[in-house]
Chain A
Amino acid sequence: MEKLLRDKKALLLFVFPTFLIFTTIIILPIFFSLYYSTLKWDGFSQGVFVGINNYKNLFMANTDGFPRSVLNSFILAVVSVCIQLPLALFLALVLSRGIKGERFFRTVYFIPVIISTVVIGQLCMKIFDPDYGIVNVILKAIGLGSLQRMWLADPKTALGAVFAAMLWQYVGYHMLLMYASAKSISTDIFEAATIDGASEARIAFSITIPLMKPILRVCVIFAVVGSFKAFDLIFVMTGGGPLHSTDVPTTLMYNTIFNRSQYGYGSAMAIFIIVECLVCTVLIQKAFGKDIEY
């Protein structure tokens, strides 16, 4: 057995293809991006080395609204941590303590997660349609016709409409993660607490939530990093418009590279997104501190 498991040829055969694909497709591109980000380059002619100028242009003397797009992604992160996660947590806590139709609700809440964002995006464009969309039709029906507007074409409401769709889609995902974690807590603890006369709310805040800390950390990281990486729904619904009001770094990067052929400048945005995600992951890990065990 020893000899078989030290077989160099088998090892190479088992590991090398993965190593090759993984390195060329995921790791090398980061270094390429880093290199491109120091160039002024349109993708076809020879690139000119410009040092850190691209990075300077991101925030100083910026003309394409990059700071605004970063701000948008931060707003999305805050909204999803402050609204989406608490809602998901509430649903998960109640479901995990047993409610009629536990399985049904869990299954239904999760459906939007598995549906393609293109479908959700196209569907939401219909929902927010100024003439025949659900939102405006219902507003009119209940006598709030004055609130009707062109949700996605109005720079004031477009961001809110897109964010609503994104939050709606992923509540079920966070709920499921939290639910699984709450379900894994030993029921003995709950029984003991009930005997001691603790109320359901008290049980939730003193026992369940502290024990769910590892998964809550995962959810916060997903919500924040996911907001920084958000692309699909915005790309489908507004493409970053109207007037850059819904731009996030990823959509702006896409347009900068493929519509304006600023390969170097777009790569600087890509590097910014990587660094932003890494830094926030580490910060959130730190902020949560050590896990609690009973």
Chain B
Amino acid sequence: MKSGCIIVKENANVNLEVRSSKSPFNIKKILGVILLAFFGIYAVIQLYPLFWLLLFSFKDNQEIFGGNVLGLPGVWRVSNYVTVFTSGNVGIYFMNSVIVTAVTIAVSSVLLSTCAYAIVRMHWKLNNVFLTYILLGMMVPLHATLLPMFIILRNMNLLDSYWSLIIPYIAFALPIGIFIMTGFVKGIPKEIEEAACIDGCSIYKIFYHIVLPLLRPALSTVAIFTFLSSWNELMFANTFISSDRLKTLTVGIMSLAGQHATDWGAIGAGLMISTVPTLIIYILLSDQVQKSLIVGAVKG
């Protein structure tokens, strides 16, 4: 029966080939070329604006206002980048973004992996209720929490500090992270933990030495997700931080663009600087990044 199927399939393929080789200008080929052209054009639409940004980040106003808007820069002015880094505070903004994002990823990874483990493995009555409660958080738009959080942070005297960003970023990383993580913990065989238990390990040792290393792939998925959302976050950063030395890149770039409203090169250089880290991560880990965003979305 099985071999019969294969024979039929091969016959079908042969038939197709015979049919298509009859006319040299077959429709399929032409359609294929048109499709490829369409995809090429669309790739240009997606990429060209960024390429244009790269170009004008190396130009000065004279060149742009002189009519060279679209072309390559006559002289590649690295000085734009130097100016932005030295006279502007871009270096500081950059460090702030790194600090806030790194602490957010570190703390949220610990919280969500321990919590996911407790939900899946540990025996307590409310684990499913608790999971549903946490997952509800995915439905809450962060704008709706803006004002109350502003007031809470003000009352705790945390406004205008790193914590005013780190704490909300951690909180909003938790639901999606726990969702991904619980799915992953379920897939780990229990036997290893049981063996460790017989050898006399405490629950903390089991978690730290056995479970945590196994969770690494899932942790990296979650970390990429958290990185993108906290590195790019604007609204909280714009509302909770007022002093210039604490601004993260997103807000810093906004104020930079305000100061240099007419200096295209400087703005372009600033935008490039804040984009390059994400681009590098994406180029190095593109499959991983794509996977992380797919997993983050598919909860149904």
Contact = CB atoms under 8 A, between A and B. Distances in A.
Interface of A: 1-2, 4-7, 10-11, 13-15, 17-19, 21-22, 24-30, 32-33, 36, 43, 91, 94, 99-101, 104-119, 122-124, 126-127, 131-134, 137-138, 168, 171-173, 176-177, 180, 191, 194-195, 214-215, 217-218, 222, 225, 228-229, 231-232, 235-236, 250, 253-254, 257-258, 263, 266-267, 270-271, 273-274, 277-278, 281
A109 B43 contact: yes
Contact of B145 (A29, A115, A191): A29
A26 B147 contact: no
B89 interface: no
A15 B204 CA distance: 13
B271 interface: yes
Contacts of B121: 5
B30 interface: no
Interface string B257-287: 1000000100110010011001100100010
Contacts of A17: 111
Contacts of B250: 116, 118
Given A32-B151, A108-B46, A132 B64 contact: yes
Given A5-B123, A218-B299, 13 more contacts: A6-B124, A7-B122, A15-B119, A28-B148, A30-B140, A94-B35, A111-B279, A112-B50, A117-B232, A122-B271, A126-B56, A218-B300, A232-B234
B202 interface: yes
Given A115-B278, A270-B144, A277-B139, A22 B174 contact: yes
Nearest to B121: A5
Given A4-B203, A116-B278, A132 B69 contact: yes
22 contacts: A1-B194, A14-B118, A15-B130, A21-B171, A21-B174, A22-B137, A25-B171, A25-B172, A29-B149, A32-B152, A91-B39, A100-B36, A108-B47, A114-B228, A115-B50, A117-B232, A176-B290, A176-B294, A195-B12, A232-B234, A232-B235, A274-B140
B282 A14 contact: no
B88 interface: no
B115 A116 contact: no
B57 to A, nearest CB: 10
A99 B28 CA distance: 13
Given A116-B278, A126-B264, A137-B69, A25 B168 contact: yes
Contacts of B112: 18
Contacts of A107: 286, 290
Given A1-B194, A113-B293, A126-B56, A278 B139 contact: yes
Contacts of B8: 195
Most B CB atoms within 10 A — which of A21, A26, A138?
A26
A29 B144 contact: yes
Contact of A94 (B39, B49, B114): B39
A293 to B, nearest CB: 14
B253 interface: yes
A266 B171 contact: no
B49 A134 contact: yes
Contacts of B53: 123, 126
A62 B117 CA distance: 50
B35 A115 contact: no
B103 interface: no
A97 to B, nearest CB: 10
Interface residues of B, number: 94
Given A14-B115, A132-B69, A116 B39 contact: no
A134 B174 contact: no
Nearest to A278: B139
B297 A177 contact: yes
A218 B139 contact: no
Smallest CB-CB A-B distances: 9 pairs: A25-B171, A29-B148, A32-B148, A29-B145, A14-B118, A116-B232, A14-B114, A18-B115, A270-B144
Given A14-B122, A32-B151, A273 B193 contact: no
A43 B239 CA distance: 15
B114 A134 contact: no
Contacts of B175: 22, 26
Given A11-B124, A26-B137, A105 B147 contact: no
Contacts of B1: none
Interface string B176-208: 001000000000000001100100001110100
Nearest to A249: B143
A6 B122 contact: yes
Contact of B267 (A22, A33, A122, A258): A122
B294 A270 contact: no
Contacts of A100: 36
B65 A258 contact: no
A176 B21 CA distance: 35
B92 interface: no
A267 B300 CA distance: 29
Contacts of B122: 5-7, 10-11, 14
B289 interface: yes
B231 interface: yes
A132 B235 contact: no
A32 B145 CA distance: 9
Contacts of B223: none
Interface in B31-85: 32, 35-36, 39, 42-43, 45-47, 49-50, 52-53, 56, 64-65, 69-70
